[in-house]
Chains A and B, each alone.
Chain A
Amino acid sequence: MRKLYHFNGGVHPPTHKEQSTQSPIVQAGLPSRLVVPLHQHAGNCAKPAVKVGDRVLKGQLFGMPEGSVSSAVHSPTSGTVTAIDMQVVAHPSGLPDLCITLTPDGLDEWIPRVKTDYLTTTPEELRKLLKLAGVVGLGGAVFPSDLKLRPGKKKVKTLVLNGAECEPFITCDDMLMRERADEIVQGAEMLRHMLDADEVLIGIEDNKPEAIAAMQLAVSASSYRKLEVVAVPTIYPGGGAKQLIRVLTGIEVAAGMRSTDLGVQCFNVATAYSAHRAIAHGEPLISRIITVAGNVQHAQNFEALIGTPVHELVALAGTKTGTTAYIMGGPMMGVQLPSDKVTVTKATNCIIASSPALFPPPPPELPCIRCTRCVEVCPAELQPQDLYWFSKSRNFGKAQEFNLFDCIECGACSYVCPSNIPLVQYYRFAKSEIWANEREKDSADIARERHEFHLLRIEREKQEKAEKLALKEKAARAAKEAATKSQAEGSNSDTTTIEALRAQVREIARPETEVPKE
């Protein structure tokens, strides 16, 4: 039996996972229209690679990665590009972002798919391949996977595969492991090969015995000897990357630290599956498994194309009256969607139809009584009551001093707060204010620099002018001298020299820029 470590706190919310694990994954099929956002990953927005009116094939590049932290976006099916514009996307702000609208032609015609043998390809080329295939972390953070595969300061000993899936309602990873364990295991071996890791630990919460069994079977059936399935205790947020790494290896990855520098890396099981599809089948990331649960007729998992409208996906599970909103993600960390017309992205692991019966509005907020129940459950070992106090009073410097940015926003503190304070909301507010302040400071610094340069330039121009003026005076003096000289000599016929000198003076004194006046 492997030694497991534990992290501080955690909570045990009701799981609600049974409903959506009754039936196998269903293909969601082609919707009437697909709206694919170009910014579905952490980092820079992808640059459009198609034009309106283009006929595109399934898997064709829609957006080119821009810069090192970015990823590609692809056409989910074949059809015609009908718009490239700003549309409301699955984001809590409800603001529009650049999207490509595709009208499917129903043929679902693939681009030529190139299979790659990962054993004969260098890790660097494989990373490039993953970036161009748009493979990003499917656990929710959508961080480009190729960046997580870069070698760190230390040799990677352990690759952690995250199949914990601790959030209530979400079962997409569970179902994927039950049904496609072989491909996950192959993908895991590819990732292990790229990192040259000594072992792969596949962490699955012990409330998913079927997934554990399926994965164990797939591992023992494979020829890979460095993989091990480990059942971890069920506790929220045990599926957080930092928490799972801690549980499996004892290593604590602090905020702002690269885990490869500590000799460990973590990928979601669905990411390993997508990496396998990209490398072994040449298929970019254009679909994912999404749990549809909550206030619906039949909660279940769908394999849906990226860009499928939420209302069309929910309709497949059977809508029910009383639904007031849709939540993307789980009830602990998910976001309420601005509308059901937005489309699913690579980050969409779950859609919950929410109703007041399912998630009753919280009772009114009371003052903090410093009971420290939040401290007891905080997996980052923070002092949430202090962070709340500083965030509430807009004392951002102090909040940062108290490690605000180590908060993973898991919501455990809000979950247990007897005063019903939306603690995480205060932390998000403080974080975005700090980011905004930093952006403002950066642009002020640039403006200062440019202004200083501007002053320098004016000064330089002034100097140049003065120099020219001095030159002109000198020339004038010389002309005068020459004139008097020639007069003194008594020769008044020699006017040509004077004319030449005058021309010289004009030449020097001419203004360098001509400002036309109206």
Chain B
Amino acid sequence: MLIALLVMSVLALILGAVLGFSALKFHVEGNPLVDKIDAILPQTQCGQCSFPGCKPYATAIAAGEADINRCPPGGEEGIRKLAELLNLEFKPFGEDTAATKPKSVAVIDEYTCIGCTLCIQACPVDAISGAAKQMHTIIESECTGCELCIAPCPVDCIIMVPIQENITTWKFRYPSASNPSAANNMAKLS
């Protein structure tokens, strides 16, 4: 009886020491989960998730305070990736979330723009250049398509333009089971 007790206590001590040691040895700084979630989010900073940016949403997901299906720009693919990372079930978009749109960029109609700088203040990634009373321009390559600049514009001169596929961004499609018939291609030829 005594021996058994002793053995168990010694074991408990050793294992406890190992656990304690590894907790120190393998300690990770910060909250890597938030960063991992943030890495999956599309960084549009659009706020459609009701959080003021991707990082706050990531923090909320990590804390278990937000669902994983609140990011329309990430699409279902994004939900799938989040579900995989967090070991959750895939969850379709809710009724209240905005629909996923094709990736777009904002364009300013430069003849209508009055140079009020309101959009410059709204842009979360500083992708709009211009100064007071001067026409503004959106740097297309930096625009995330968040649409946050549209509402503040007093003259409604910003429109969203879907990004067109070009030769460098063109993707091979998923092979279809049936072979497209040659006749199909003939139509294009003539």
Contacts and interface: CB of A to CB of B under 8 A. Distances in A.
Name which of B54, B125, B177 has the most chain A CB atoms within 10 A of its CB.
B125
A475 to B, nearest CB: 27
B31 interface: no
A445 interface: yes
Q: Interface of chain B, helix or strand or loop or mixed?
A: loop
A453 B38 CA distance: 16
B69 interface: no
Interface stretch (B5-13, B18-26, B86-94, B182-190): B182-190
A448 B41 CA distance: 10
B167 interface: yes
B142 A450 contact: yes
B45 A433 contact: no
Contacts of A92: 172
Q: Interface of chain A, helix or strand or loop or mixed?
A: mixed
Contacts of A338: 188
B162 to A, nearest CB: 15
B165 A451 contact: no
Contacts of B175: 422, 425-426, 429
A365 B42 contact: no
Contact of B182 (A325, A429, A446): A325
Contact of A439 (B114, B166, B169): B169
B116 interface: yes
A512 B45 CA distance: 27
Q: Which range holds the interface residue count of chain B?
A: 35 or more
Interface of B: 38, 41-45, 53-55, 114, 116-117, 123-127, 132-133, 142, 144, 154, 165-167, 169-175, 177-179, 181-183, 185-186, 188-189
Contacts of A182: none
B116 A324 contact: no
B189 A447 contact: no
Given A448-B43, A451-B125, A518-B154, A429 B172 contact: yes
Closest 6 CB pairs of A and B: A447-B43, A450-B125, A93-B170, A432-B171, A444-B43, A428-B172
Contacts of A435: 171
Interface of A: 39, 89, 91-97, 324-326, 336, 338-340, 354, 356, 361-362, 364-365, 422, 425-426, 428-429, 431-433, 435-436, 439-440, 443-448, 450-451, 453-454, 457, 513-516, 518
Contacts of A339: 188-189
Nearest to A426: B175
Contacts of A431: 172
A500 B168 CA distance: 65
Contacts of A518: 114, 116, 154
Contacts of B173: 429
Given A361-B182, A516-B133, A436 B171 contact: yes
Contacts of A515: 116-117, 132
B182 A356 contact: yes
Contact of A447 (B45, B132, B177, B183): B45
Contacts of B178: 364
Given A39-B167, A453-B126, A325 B186 contact: yes
B127 A450 contact: yes
Given A324-B185, A450-B125, 6 more contacts: A95-B166, A429-B171, A432-B170, A451-B55, A451-B124, A513-B132
A429 B186 CA distance: 24
Contacts of B186: 324-325
Contacts of B179: 361-362, 364
A99 to B, nearest CB: 11
Contact of B38 (A325, A448, A454, A514): A448
Contacts of A95: 165-167, 170
Name which of B127, B169, B175, B179 has the most chain A CB atoms within 10 A of its CB.
B175
A343 B148 CA distance: 44
Nearest to A95: B167
Given A91-B167, A361-B182, A324 B125 contact: no
Contacts of B170: 91, 93, 95, 432
Contact of A340 (B55, B133, B183, B189): B189
Nearest to B155: A518
A440 B42 contact: yes
